[in-house]
Amino acid sequence: MAFDYEKYLRPGKLPHIWCPGCGHGIVMKGLIRAMDTLKLDMKNTAIVSGIGCASRLPGYIDCCTLHTAHGRAAAFATGVKMAKPEMNVILCGGDGDGTAIGGNHFIHACRRNIDMTYIIMNNYIYGMTGGQFSPCTPTGHKASTTPYGNPDPGFDIAKLAIGAGATFVARGTAFHANQIDKLIVEAIQHKGFSVVEILDDCPTTYGRRNKYKSVIEMMNRLKEVAVPVKAAEKMTAEQLKGKVLTGVLYKEEKPEYTEEFAKVIERAKASK
Amino acid sequence: MAKKVAFMQGNEAAAHGALYAGCNFFGGYPITPSTEVSEVLSIELPKIGGKFIQMEDEIGAMAACLGASLAGSKVLTSTSGPGLSLKQELIGYGCIAEIPCVVFNVMRGGPSTGMPTGPSQSDVMCAKWGTHGDHATIALMPASVQECYDMVAEAFNLSEKYRMPVHVLPDEIIAHMRERIEFREPGEIEIIPRKAPTVPPEQYKPYDTSFGDVPPLADFGSGYRFHVTGLNKMQDGFPTTKAEIVQAEEERQVRKVNACIDDIVTFEEYMLDDAEVVVVAYGSTSRSARYAVNVAREQGIKAGMFRIKTFWPFPDKQIKALAAKVKGFIIPEMNLGMCSIELERCAQGKVPVLGIFRVDGEPINPEQIVEKIKEVK
Amino acid sequence: MEKTLPKIEIIEKYCKGCHICVEFCPTKVLEMKGFVVAVKNLEACIKCMQCELRCPDFAIKVSAE
């Protein structure tokens, strides 16, 4: 049977703002399926985003939604979660929002291991402003502000998250649509700060500048570069060159921030 | 029962004033000269089950406060000049999304790092105009340690009543000075709760003006599902670029304060009945001004003081009335003439406005003010 | 036994014509008609749901008994 997405969508908001072929809609559907699998109480669920194309996602979903300022999703969300630890708090946004202007909040949310899930839609570009290079644009690639090729090295978001202390890190792609909800389910179920990076496509501002002939070519590129972590174990370094690992990349059990703060409250009350 | 009294700093008193008002969330970042606020609340908030978080930067602190406020907390952040600059974008977010919060900003020298331990009153315009776009501002100016306590409590009331960020702007002298204060008894200052929605969740709109210019605000996680954005929005909270809606909403967000100026503005009149020369002062400078007025009176000069307690909205009506009957205004301030601009505006050229402006990190002493009073003919 | 055909519902006002469903349908059930997708060969549908899963625009629903 067809999946009932309408149940989770705010009426009258479609069609969404994303361009033809943009994978953000595929990611949003994955998130909705994950929410459905987990039977999340929508009254008790907040989706918090920053600014950018991907950050427009919360407006479509019928729960408590907070479209904040550029880069600040993780910090606003930390306030929501601290105030109401019983709420499910999900963050979403793009690569520029999350790792450039929001980079500091991102790494510190990872460090605290606060129980929230951050879905980063990485399309290697600032789409909403017209295609400027982001910290995730590959070196040498073209953007509206790297007309001679990008001189910057890019971030590996997953490594950044692991290094900063996130206790669940996964990566998927917009091509591997049926994996997205499974990764998000596992991320939400994980106690602690979980990061799900979804490699995404921006045909409008990235694809056309980097010689992708179509959305389909971009999707196929995601298919080609992705290697599941299990499969990668059996591959040589040579074979893995230019590939990107997908699946659950890292998982660890560590004390969760709001639970640790609850202990602070206990100690403070005992000291009165 | 005797009142609880204490001998403490303005910063410490501010923290206790916040607790009196029901503050249960603090998000901050260390900055001189305001850190004692966070230190006290890191001790006291967990004792009552409140939340304290030291964020990774000033912006994050402001963001966490706004997030927690939307989840129903009464929130405070404390900072100083450079931190206020960093927080400005999100103060604007609080204005447009109409999220209650209190910003306790201890004024030190500037711009930039300036004199971190030196007093100043140079953030009064930053509080009003620091964030971009049109918006209403409320800013309170404590002149004593007791007022740090009382005004922070009052700032919570105003932030909840008008659903917006409210500034409390002590200068460094007030924040670090120690004085005797009285803790308020329960009920002594009325605590105004947030206006909660009366409609069921399916009918709720976060900016529903059928409930007046200050629409009720539901808490995240209380059964109400709604959208909050920093974009110009419709009454249901969703973005719009429709000209008439944007215009109406922006005007409402300024009107909700401007229509209530008489309820918001507070001030002190000292020896104004027959005054010919009026010293307009605020914060620690008003303490020198009071002394100077006494000295001038002893010398037979009809001097008085108008003390600004609410800097924003500016007490236009009171200043304009004074301008019609006095010979001149003296404005001592620890900046290069910020309040002076407002006085000139209200005086409308009817009387001279003589400034005493110091930005050297030293307080303005009464002698300087007496000398200036004598210049008014 | 007679094969029951699935129902493929296209919500034209949501379709942005990205071609994803057309290209990734393994049995080439769909085609572009102008700027929006249309069902070309329902008989060939194997109910794999790939089109519904991949459509970024919530524009396709596949119902199968």
Residue C12 neighbours by CB under 8 Å, 6+ apart: C36, C59
Element spanning A172, H or E: strand A168-173
Of C13, C20, C57, the CB nearest to A219: C20
Does residue C3 surpass a pLDDT of 80? no
Q: Is residue A8 part of a domain?
A: no
* pLDDT band (50, 70, 90) for residue B238: very high
Residues B328-341: tens digit of each pLDDT: 999 999 999 999 99
Q: What are phi and psi of A233, to 5 degrees?
A: -60, -30
Neighbours of B322 (CB within 10 A): 23
Nearest Cα residue in chain A from C47: A1
Cβ proximity of A139 and A109 under 8 Å: no
pLDDT band for position C4 (cuts 50, 70, 90): confident
Name every chain C residue with its beta carbon within 8 A of the beta carbon of A215: 18-20
Bridge partner residues of A118 (DSSP):
A91, A195
CATH number of B5-182: 3.40.50.970
pLDDT tens string B2-56: 789 999 999 999 999 999 999 999 999 999 999 999 999 999 999 999 999 999 9
Contacts of C16 in chain A (CB under 8 A): 15, 19-21
C-beta separation of B100 from B23 below 8 A: no
Q: How many CB atoms are closer than 10 A to CB A7?
A: 11
| Residue among B343, B336, B335, B279 nearest B311 (CA) | B343
Q: Which residue of A has its CA nearest to B88?
A: A69
Decide: C50 and C9 in contact? Cβ < 8 Å: no
Domains B5-182 and B265-375 share a fold: yes
The CATH number of C7-63 is 3.30.70.20
Closest in A42, A51, A79 to B63, CB measured: A79
**Comparing C-alpha atoms, which of B101, B97, B132 is closest to residue B238?**
B97
Confidence of residue C64 (pLDDT cuts 50, 70, 90): confident
Which of C14, C16, C63 is the closest to A1 by Cβ? C63
Give the count of domains, chain A.
1
Domain map (residue ranges) of chain B: 5-182, 201-262, 265-375
Question: Taking the CA of residue A114 as centre, how many other CA atoms within 13 Å lie in the half-sphere pointing to its CB?
Answer: 31
The pLDDT of residue C1: 55
With CA atoms as reference, report the closest residue to B67 among A209, A95, A116, A128: A116
Instruction: Reply yes or no on whether the pLDDT at A30 is more than 70.
Output: yes
Task: Indicate if the pLDDT at residue A180 is higher than 60.
Answer: yes
Q: What's the pLDDT tens digit per position in A81-137?
A: 999 999 999 999 999 999 999 999 999 999 999 999 999 999 999 999 999 999 999
Strands B25-28 and B51-54: parallel
Whether residues A26 and C16 touch (CB distance < 8 A) is answered with: no
User: Does B265-375 carry CATH code 3.40.50.920?
Assistant: yes
pLDDT at B169: 98
Structural domain harbouring A190: 15-271
Mean pLDDT throughout B246-269? 98
Residues 32-91 of A with CB under 8 A from B: 42-44, 46, 48, 51, 58-59, 62-69, 72, 75-84, 86-87
Q: Helices (DSSP H) in chain B: which residue ranges?
A: 10-20, 35-47, 58-70, 81-97, 124-129, 145-162, 172-176, 243-258, 261-264, 285-298, 316-323, 338-347, 366-375
Token pair of B65, please? 């406060």
Give chain B's mean pLDDT.
97
Query: Quick one: closest CA in A to B91, which residue?
Result: A69
For residues B151-176, average pLDDT: 98
Structure-token pair, residue A261: 């703060």
Q: Residue C11's CB: how many other CB atoms inside 10 A?
A: 16
The reported pLDDT for the residue numbered B2 is: 77
Measure the N-to-C terminal CA separation of chain B; round to a whole number of Å: 52
Partner residue facing A15 (CB), from C19, C20, C57 = C57
Q: Which two tokens stand for residue A77?
A: 């969300």
Evaluate the CA torsion angle B164, B107, B87, B153 in order and state its sign: negative
A268 touches chain B (CB under 8 A): yes
- In whole angstroms, give the CA distance from residue B74 to residue A14: 35
Distance of CA A46 to the CA centre of its chain: 15
Dihedral over Cα of C19, C23, C26, C30: its sign? positive
Q: Contact partners of A by the rule of 3+ C-beta pairs under 8 A? A: B, C
Q: For a pLDDT cut of 90, what percent of chain B falls above it?
A: 98
From residue A92, alpha-carbon distances to A5, A83, A97, A171 in Å are: 18, 20, 10, 14
Report the pLDDT value the prediction gives residue B377, as an integer from 0 to 100: 85
Pairwise CA distance, residues C53 & C65, whole Å: 18
Q: Quick check: B144 pLDDT over 80?
A: yes
* Partners of B239 in beta bridges: B233
The pLDDT > 70 percentage for chain B reads 100
Q: What is the pLDDT of residues B272-283, one digit of tens each?
A: 999 999 999 999
Angle subtended at Cα B154 by Cα A268 and Cα A81, rounded to the nearest 5 degrees: 45
- Separation of alpha carbons B311 and B307, rounded Å: 10
**CA-closest candidate to residue B355, choices B244, B267, B279:** B279
Q: Which of A13, A51, A83 sits opposite B68 (nearest CB)?
A: A83
CATH number at residue A149: 3.40.50.970
Contact A35, A54 (CB under 8 A): no
pLDDT per residue as tens digits for the range C11-60: 999 999 999 999 999 999 999 999 999 999 999 999 999 999 999 999 99
Mean per-residue pLDDT, A171-189: 98
Chains touching B (3+ CB pairs < 8 Å): A
Q: Look at residue B232 and tell me whether its pLDDT is greater than 70.
A: yes
From A73, A159, A156, A83, select the one nearest A119 (Cα to Cα). A73
Phi, psi dihedrals of residue B368, rounded to the nearest 5°: -60, -40
What confidence category does residue B1 fall into, taking pLDDT thresholds of 50, 70 and 90?
low
Could you tell me which residues are beta bridge partners of residue B355? B331
Closest of A1, A74, A94, A60 to residue A257, by C-alpha:
A74
User: What is the C-alpha to C-alpha distance for residues A92 and B91, in angstroms, rounded to an integer?
Assistant: 22
Size of interface A-C (CB pairs under 8 A): 58
pLDDT at B124 > cutoff 90: yes
Q: Mean pLDDT across the stretch B306-331? A: 98
Is A31 within 8 Å of A181 (Cβ atoms)? yes
Each residue's pLDDT tens digit, B340-351: 999 999 999 999
Can you give the residue ranges of every domain in chain C? 7-63
Within 8 A by CB and 6+ apart from C3, the residues are none
The packing angle between helices A73-83 and B58-70, to 10°, is 50
Q: Answer whether residue C2 shows pLDDT above 70.
A: no
